[in-house]
Amino acid sequence: GAGVSQSPSNKVTEKGKDVELRCDPISGHTALYWYRQRLGQGLEFLIYFQGNSAPDKSGLPSDRFSAERTGESVSTLTIQRTQQEDSAVYLCASNRRGTSGNNEQFFGPGTRLTVL
């Protein structure tokens, strides 16, 4: 079946512009995660959605970052007034329940964001 997809695969923007990144999780996966990976660094957790529960936004680095998800479908991560330090690969992952620690996460290919 189809895996997690993300779009665009690459995004180049100018400092100060807003960008919107999209994630299509695997059908039936109730949990969705966004991570960020700066060049040469490990992954940083950004935000977590589980069904219709309130999302965990504890990893968002500033109020310029926001994310939405409608039900158990598509999610969008929006970065307003982009800064050069926002340049990174943004990864989305999903899994079936997210209610215990034994469910593997399936990652998308990521969106590479470059802020000039």
Partner 1 sequence: DAKTTQPNSMESNEEEPVHLPCNHSTISGTDYIHWYRQLPSQGPEYVIHGLTSNVNNRMASLAIAEDRKSSTLILHRATLRDAAVYYCILPKAGGTSYGKLTFGQGTILTVHP
DSSP string of 18-52, one letter each residue:
-EEEEEEPPTT--EEEEEEE-TTS-EEEEEEEETT
Identity of the residue numbered 91: L
**Residue number with CB closer to partner 1 (42 or 71):** 42
Smallest separation (angstroms) from partner 1 to the CB of 87 = 16
CA angle in degrees (0–180, nearest 5) for 49-1-107: 40
**Residue number with CB closer to partner 1 (23 or 115):** 23
Structure-block tokens of residue 73: 């479908």
Structure-block tokens of residue 6: 């993300």
* Residue ranges binding partner 1 (CB under 8 A): 31, 33, 35, 42-45, 48, 50, 56, 58, 91, 93, 95, 97-110
Smallest separation (angstroms) from partner 1 to the CB of 4 = 8
**Residue number with CB closer to partner 1 (14 or 58):** 58
Smallest separation (angstroms) from partner 1 to the CB of 45 = 6
